[in-house]
Chains A and B, each alone.
Chain A
């Protein structure tokens, strides 16, 4: 069965620093999709970034980028120049034909940006 593991329950960094959140997953599939979602306090869950497994190039969205290591089954999220508004729960998720296209979620990392 597919699983997603986020090994850091909580992290905190100073504003403007760079932070990396880790995510590993387990699958026997070759084609799948990976996502990072963000859930700010008392606000709605939103997509941060996504990656198709067949693409070798790491996805980037402004200050957010991923380090996708397919062989290692690792999908870390890097946030550059962190801002107070980045304070949130961050969830890594995985989706594949074998999961019947259901999102399999990690338990989340609580990220606190300190002023």
Chain B
């Protein structure tokens, strides 16, 4: 596969469940990102990793926990979510976090919290 892949594509979970979202990039990039996309709202940056080190944590609730085991993989661990966490979760990567580097996006995971 090429580009940025995300699994699963759809996820329905109860508020007491624990699940993980996976992202993989095949582009040799050094930076990876998690975004939350809700209808009619700007994309919200959740986490940024550069060379496997977390760079930014934008006041995200602790029920979201990222993990970056290597430069190609990024996980988002979910536990005790709330219904308002239902959204499309996008993963992206770029060569570097600085400059005008393009971000390449995955197809997203559509999360529904019941």
Contact = CB atoms under 8 A, between A and B. Distances in A.
Contacts of A50: 100, 102
Contacts of B58: 102
Contact of A101 (B40, B97, B106, B107): B97
A84 interface: no
Please indicate which of the listed interface residues A9, A50, A95 has the most CB atoms of chain B within 10 Å of its own CB.
A95
A9 B100 CA distance: 26
Given A4-B42, A45-B90, A91-B43, A103 B106 contact: no
Interface string B48-75: 1000000110100000000000000000
A47 B42 contact: no
A103 to B, nearest CB: 7
Chain A CB within 10 Å, residue with most, of B3, B42, B56, B98: B42
A46 interface: yes
Interface in A41-65: 43-47, 50, 52
Given A101-B98, A103-B45, A46 B40 contact: no
Given A44-B4, A50-B100, A106-B42, 17 more contacts: A9-B40, A33-B100, A35-B100, A43-B107, A44-B107, A46-B105, A47-B103, A52-B100, A100-B55, A100-B56, A101-B97, A102-B48, A102-B56, A102-B58, A107-B40, A107-B42, A108-B40
23 contacts: A4-B42, A9-B40, A33-B100, A43-B107, A44-B4, A44-B106, A44-B107, A45-B105, A47-B103, A50-B102, A91-B42, A91-B43, A95-B100, A100-B56, A102-B58, A103-B43, A103-B103, A104-B42, A105-B42, A105-B43, A106-B42, A107-B40, A108-B42
Q: 4 tightest CB-CB pairs across the interface, nearest first?
A: A45-B105, A105-B42, A105-B43, A33-B100
